[in-house]
């Protein structure tokens, strides 16, 4: 590679990481690839060390109890209102005076409810981890897999567990085996609720014969189409239906039924469709939970899955149209290592194609927002403005519009360029008031920047304007 | 560095230029005299064109210098006469009214000791009070506060301090500062948009096209640079509202019986390299917004207005002549605008250097004849009773030769 070492270090940080902090480029300039790999090899690299965060089961039960209390309070309020109306003989303005007989029920607490509080605490932990990362390659991989296996906080009862979901199944496996992550994902309550499998019932199961509700194919379809093989590959509609049958009974313990384990995963044999099922040419005998595990294991090994995952990974990090040679390398490595994701990541940063591609991809909003904060060494205690920036730019944290996740291509994000300018302007004032833009430029961008960009920053009318221009510079927005 | 030096004593803490940063104490000496003075410093970042704000209409070389861009008493709109020699930009009727009633003073051909032309360094010198740019970590206003003995805490017992950012340099330093910021920060200025589109045209045509489309600006900036068409006027209302809200809120705080007495805020956008628009364009909009801010301060100060001084300063001036894109480039001397009921106003204070080429600094800028530090020292000394030796050593280090300008206040 003919790149000068600082430029290569800057690419490592902008393309594979979360953007330079002061000193980052110099720190890794002697061996940028080695530094990326070293971050993968660090013990506990994917973990978030925040002991206050709840497991998904605890969070789900706490939110359930909270919702029950809210409901009871609302019912009490309604009952009190009805009692008042009945006794007030059509004089509504008298209601208040008739109060003493029926004390007003407690008003619902103001501010965000418990699910939202949990969501915000999880999001803050995620943002803090991104700001604290040396390079951020591991965090980027976590974000990548979390988006690949996305759930949405906007689906009922996912809000309080979507952060725990990422920690429990994505982080725990992001440098492990794809098959392990796949199994953990598809048996996590967040995914089972998000894609409706929690209430999917085998038509010939005990529960199915008793009630009218039945099969829901949503999760089975998305596993095949989005999570593993990829759309229009080796499966057909009957594979979707049979696979959906296989994973009937993969559900969530009802809160009322079991206050201790409510909200956790269970295999419920009474909902499970009996019988062998043939999925993509292979018959799987009905061995309960193991039937689904076996299908997932086969899907995780499938060459179509290798190609699908390799293409997405290369597209995310390198180019909208990823170099075929790079995809080939990644897919081969995936198959050769039984889906070892750390080996995939190492292959990615060791491949010349991953470095040679022009820096044409627009950073995704979350990545860009974090890069801006890192560049000015901001660690906001209140992440409200950071979350708002994600929302405004179209990438609200853990709230994708569809199971496909947020786009990994540049075009959809170009539309938000004007919004980025407003965020850049705001961040420069909110978070960068003490930063020297010339120093930030040297530390974050200089090895990659054009003379025009340097000049625009040094000639700005004020430091905030210079920082806003720096955040908006093509070299800062593109990876 | 980004360590928060005020963390222990700040509250309602937020950030941004355009934010009020106020000292949490009351000045003791002035209180002992039975006064309760208020001082608000407004920093205009980007370098105000002093000649377009306050025009030397009586200078025989004025019209030749600026041509069609020269404000005149017979122009359209007509400049507002101040005295037989100077006239105010017509966008500033409130300041004009205050001047006529003796509550505004203009100091012309003034400059900090900085003689280069970098905004960042110029702002550092203006706000740090040091003679040279360099590693300043405190501002002159904060160091002035340190020297004042506090007479009781402002703000009563509300001691809930937010931990957070970050004040402009002029108020940074050891004295405790509290702050407030408008809930909505202003959108990116037209000037920022133009600079960015210009950068994109040179470096990234895709981003240039997209941003132009999104901003509805496709006709304004072309490859090769900004070429003098007026920027979109849509933001004018937002700028006015933002200036007025910031300044008015600052005044509300300063006016309160238990409120702070000394504050600072900053307004950006004065770097008018192209299409300056002193009469109907961008600069007129900004000056109008500043005029509205002054009016908002007067209104919100209420009974405290007679004890108020507002000092409006900028890092340097602009070239005396108009450049090739109907704007002005970085210059040297400019104006300082003072407003407030405590002033002995109705005066333009200027040792006028003249506008002939031979009289211009480096042959291009209005020559500085008044050191801005003299003005600021005069205000700090007479209004707040900051000791003259402290002013010469600590507040504006090594400035003993620059005497405080006397007689700026009604009751000196």
Q: How confident is the prediction for chain B on average, in pLDDT?
A: 83
Residue of A nearest to B330 (CA): A461
Asked if A456 and A473 touch (Cβ cutoff 8 Å), the reply is: yes
Percent of chain B with pLDDT over 70: 82
Domain boundary among A356, A372, A390: A356
| Closest C-alpha to A473, from A14, A2, A12, A7 | A14
Do B203 and A474 lie within an 8 Å CB cutoff? Answer: yes
Q: Which residues of A touch B1 (CB under 8 A)?
A: 434
Same domain flag for A470 and A404: yes
Residue A112 or B383, more confident = B383
- Strand B370-371 and strand B221-222: pairing? unpaired
Do A463 and B123 lie within an 8 Å CB cutoff? Answer: yes
pLDDT surpasses 90 at B174: no
A307 in helix, strand or coil? helix
Residue B240 or A36, more confident = A36
- Strand B38-45 and strand B262-268: pairing? parallel
Indicate the pLDDT class of residue A212, thresholds 50, 70 and 90: confident
Same domain flag for A340 and A431: no
Q: How confident is the prediction for chain A on average, in pLDDT?
A: 92
Same domain flag for A413 and A429: yes
Residue of B nearest to A436 (CA): B120
In chain A, the N- to C-terminal Cα span, in Å, equals 18
B306 in helix, strand or coil? helix
* Span of A313-317, B104-108, B163-167, B239-243 with lowest mean pLDDT: B163-167
Residue A233 lies in a domain: no
Same domain flag for A471 and A368: yes
Please write the tens of the pLDDT for every residue from A151-161.
999 998 999 99
Do A429 and B17 lie within an 8 Å CB cutoff? Answer: yes
Residues in A whose CB is inside 8 Å of some CB of B read 376-378, 380-382, 414-415, 417-418, 421-422, 424-426, 429-431, 433-438, 450, 452-453, 456, 458-466, 468-469, 472-474, 477-478
Same domain flag for A313 and A372: no
Residue A413 lies in a domain: yes
φ, ψ of residue B409 to 5 degrees: the values are: -100, 155
Spatial separation of the C-alpha atoms in residues B5 and B15, rounded to whole Å: 14
- Strand B38-45 and strand B308-314: pairing? parallel
- pLDDT (mean) for A190-215: 93
What is the number of CB-based contacts under 8 A between chain A and chain B? 122
pLDDT surpasses 50 at B283: yes
Q: Which residues of B touch A437 (CB under 8 A)?
A: 120
Please write the tens of the pLDDT for every residue from B354-367.
999 999 999 999 99
Residue A377 lies in a domain: yes
Please write the tens of the pLDDT for every residue from A81-115.
888 776 554 443 333 333 333 334 444 456 789 99
Same domain flag for A322 and A383: no
Of B163, B198, B202, the CB nearest to A381: B163
User: How much helix, strand and coil, in percent to the nearest 5, is found in chain B?
Assistant: 35, 20, 45
- pLDDT (mean) for A410-416: 88
Percent of chain A with pLDDT over 70: 94
Domain boundary among A317, A340, A356: A356
| Angle of the B190-203 helix axis to the A417-431 helix axis, nearest 10 | 120
Do B2 and A377 lie within an 8 Å CB cutoff? Answer: yes
Distance in Å, alpha carbon of B164 to nearest chain A alpha carbon: 7
Locate A343 and state its tokens. Answer: 């080996």
φ, ψ of residue A147 to 5 degrees: the values are: -75, -35
Which domains are delineated in chain B? 7-185+236-395 (3.40.720), 188-234 (no CATH)
Residue A312 lies in a domain: yes
Interacting residues of A51 by C-beta distance below 8 A, sequence separation 6+: none
Residue A168 lies in a domain: no
**Residue listed under structure tokens 């009957």:** A238
E strands present in B241-333: 262-268, 308-314
- The pLDDT of residue A98: 35
Residue B145 or A187, more confident = A187
pLDDT surpasses 50 at B120: yes
Distances (CA, A) of A361 to A33, A308, A407, B213: 20, 20, 12, 20
Asked if A138 and A36 touch (Cβ cutoff 8 Å), the reply is: no
Please write the tens of the pLDDT for every residue from B10-46.
222 222 333 556 665 666 777 778 888 999 999 999 9
Same domain flag for A348 and A411: no
Cα A323 vs. chain centroid, distance in angstroms? 26
pLDDT surpasses 70 at B51: yes
Q: What is the pTM of this model?
A: 0.81
* Span of A261-265, A356-360, B3-7, B251-255 with lowest mean pLDDT: B3-7
Locate A212 and state its tokens. Answer: 């009218």
Cis peptide bond upstream of A224, omega within 30: no
pLDDT surpasses 90 at B191: no
Contacts of A22-29 with CB under 8 Å at 24 or more apart are A22/A377, A22/A439, A22/A440, A22/A443, A23/A443, A24/A134, A24/A135, A24/A443, A25/A443, A25/A444, A25/A447, A27/A134, A28/A135, A29/A5
- The pLDDT of residue B247: 87
Same domain flag for A334 and A424: no
Residue A338 lies in a domain: yes
Q: Could you give the ipTM of this predicted complex?
A: 0.89
Residue A206 lies in a domain: no
Residue A105 or A148, more confident = A148
Indicate the pLDDT class of residue B298, thresholds 50, 70 and 90: very high
- The pLDDT of residue B217: 52
Indicate the pLDDT class of residue B235, thresholds 50, 70 and 90: low
* Span of A280-294, B109-123, B172-186, B350-364 with lowest mean pLDDT: B172-186
Mutate to test the interface with A, among B128, B136, B192 (most CBs of A within 10 A): B192
Percent of chain B with pLDDT over 90: 59
B108 in helix, strand or coil? strand
Boundaries of domain holding A317:
303-356
- pLDDT (mean) for B54-81: 96
Locate B155 and state its tokens. Answer: 């703000």
Same domain flag for A471 and A448: yes
Please write the tens of the pLDDT for every residue from B140-163.
998 888 887 665 544 432 221 122
| Number of folded domains that form chain A | 2
Distance in Å, alpha carbon of B301 to nearest chain A alpha carbon: 27
Q: Which residues of A touch B189 (CB under 8 A)?
A: 425, 465
| Closest C-alpha to A119, from A183, A25, A34, A56 | A56
Residue A37 lies in a domain: no
- The pLDDT of residue B164: 25
Domain boundary among A336, A356, A376: A356
Same domain flag for A375 and A442: yes
A94 in helix, strand or coil? helix
Q: For B113, which DSSP code?
A: S
Indicate the pLDDT class of residue B237, thresholds 50, 70 and 90: confident
pLDDT surpasses 70 at B1: no
φ, ψ of residue B371 to 5 degrees: the values are: -80, 125
């Amino acid at each position: 590679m003919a790149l000068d070492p600082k430029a290569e270090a800057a690419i490592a940080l902008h393309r594979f990481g979360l953007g330079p902090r002061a000193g980052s480029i110099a720190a890794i300039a002697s061996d940028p690839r080695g530094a990326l790999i070293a971050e993968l090899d660090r013990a506990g690299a994917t973990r978030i060390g925040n002991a206050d965060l709840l497991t998904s089961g605890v969070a789900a039960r706490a939110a359930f109890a909270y919702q029950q209390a809210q409901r009871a309070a609302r019912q009490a309020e309604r009952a009190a209102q009805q009692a008042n109306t009945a006794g007030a003989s059509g004089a509504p303005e008298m209601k208040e005076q008739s109060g003493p007989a029926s004390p007003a029920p407690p008003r619902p607490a103001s501010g965000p409810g418990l699910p939202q509080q949990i969501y915000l605490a999880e999001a803050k932990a995620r943002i803090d981890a991104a700001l604290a990362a040396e390079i951020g390659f591991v965090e980027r991989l976590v974000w990548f897999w979390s988006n690949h296996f996305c759930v949405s906080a906007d689906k009922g009862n996912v809000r309080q567990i979507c952060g725990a979901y990422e920690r429990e199944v994505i982080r725990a496996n992001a440098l492990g085996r794809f098959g392990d992550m796949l199994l953990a994902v598809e048996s996590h309550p967040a995914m089972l609720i998000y894609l409706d499998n929690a209430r999917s019932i085998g038509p010939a199961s005990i529960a199915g014969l008793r009630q009218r509700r039945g099969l829901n194919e949503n999760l089975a379809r998305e596993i095949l189409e989005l999570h593993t093989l990829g759309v229009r590959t080796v499966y057909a509609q009957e594979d979707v239906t049979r696979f959906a049958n296989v994973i009937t009974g993969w559900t969530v313990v009802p809160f009322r039924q079991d206050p201790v384990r409510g909200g956790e995963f269970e295999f419920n044999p009474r909902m499970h469709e009996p019988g062998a099922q043939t999925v993509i040419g292979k018959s799987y005998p009905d061995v309960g939970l193991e039937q689904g595990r076996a299908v997932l294991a086969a899907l995780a090994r499938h060459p179509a899955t290798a190609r699908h995952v390799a293409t997405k990974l290369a597209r995310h990090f390198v180019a909208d149209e990823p170099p075929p040679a790079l995809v080939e390398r990644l897919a081969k490595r995936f198959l050769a290592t039984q889906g070892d994701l750390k080996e995939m990541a190492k292959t990615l940063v060791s491949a010349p194609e991953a470095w040679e591609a022009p820096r044409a991809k627009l950073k995704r909003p979350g990545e860009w927002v974090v890069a801006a904060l890192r560049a000015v060494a901001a660690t906001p205690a209140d992440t409200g403005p950071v979350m708002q920036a994600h929302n405004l730019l179209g990438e609200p944290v853990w709230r994708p519009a569809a199971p496909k996740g947020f786009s990994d291509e540049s075009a959809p994000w170009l539309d938000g360029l004007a919004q980025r300018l407003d965020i850049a302007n705001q961040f420069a004032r909110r978070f960068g008031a003490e930063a020297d833009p010339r120093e930030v430029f040297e530390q974050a961008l200089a090895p990659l920047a054009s003379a025009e960009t340097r000049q625009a920053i040094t000639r700005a009318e004020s430091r905030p304007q210079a920082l806003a221009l720096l955040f908006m510079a093509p070299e800062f927005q593109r990876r | 560095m980004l360590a928060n030096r005020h963390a222990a004593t700040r509250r309602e803490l937020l950030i941004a230029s355009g934010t009020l940063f106020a000292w949490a104490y009351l000045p003791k000496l002035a209180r002992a005299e039975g006064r309760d003075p208020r001082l608000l410093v407004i920093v205009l970042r980007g370098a105000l064109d002093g000649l377009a704000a306050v025009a030397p209409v009586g200078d025989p070389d004025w019209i030749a210098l600026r041509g069609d861009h020269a404000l005149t008493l017979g122009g359209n709109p007509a400049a507002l006469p101040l005295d037989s020699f100077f006239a105010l930009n017509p966008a500033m009727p409130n300041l004009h009214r205050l001047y006529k009633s003796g509550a505004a003073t203009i100091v012309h051909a003034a400059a900090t000791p900085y003689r280069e032309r970098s905004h960042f360094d110029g702002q550092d010198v203006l706000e740090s009070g040091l003679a040279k740019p360099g590693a300043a970590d405190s501002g002159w206003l904060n160091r002035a506060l340190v020297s004042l003995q506090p007479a009781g805490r402002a703000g009563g017992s509300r001691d809930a301090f937010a931990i957070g950012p970050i004040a402009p340099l002029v108020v940074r330093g050891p004295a405790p500062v509290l702050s407030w910021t408008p809930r909505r920060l202003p959108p990116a200025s037209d000037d920022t948009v133009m600079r960015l589109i210009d950068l994109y045209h040179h470096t990234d045509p895709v981003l240039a096209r997209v941003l132009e489309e999104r901003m509805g600006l496709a006709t304004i900036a072309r490859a090769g640079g900004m070429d003098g068409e007026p920027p979109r006027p849509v933001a004018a209302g937002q700028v006015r509202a933002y200036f007025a809200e910031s300044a008015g809120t600052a005044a509300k705080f300063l006016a309160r019986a238990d409120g702070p007495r000394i504050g600072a805020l900053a307004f950006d956008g004065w770097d008018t390299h192209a299409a300056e628009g002193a009469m109907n364009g961008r600069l007129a909009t900004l000056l109008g917004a500043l005029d509205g801010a002054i009016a908002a301060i007067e209104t919100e100060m209420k009974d405290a207005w007679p004890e108020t001084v507002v000092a409006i300063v900028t890092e340097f001036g602009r070239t005396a002549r108009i450049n090739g894109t109907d704007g002005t480039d970085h210059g040297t001397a400019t104006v300082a605008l003072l407003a407030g009921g405590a002033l002995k106003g109705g005066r333009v204070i200027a040792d006028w250097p003249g506008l002939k080429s031979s009289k211009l600094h480096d042959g291009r800028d209005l020559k500085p004849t008044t050191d801005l530090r003299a003005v600021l020292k005069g205000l700090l000394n007479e209004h707040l009773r900051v000791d003259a030796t402290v002013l010469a050593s600590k507040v504006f280090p090594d400035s003993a030769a620059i005497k405080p300008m006397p007689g700026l206040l009604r009751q000196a």
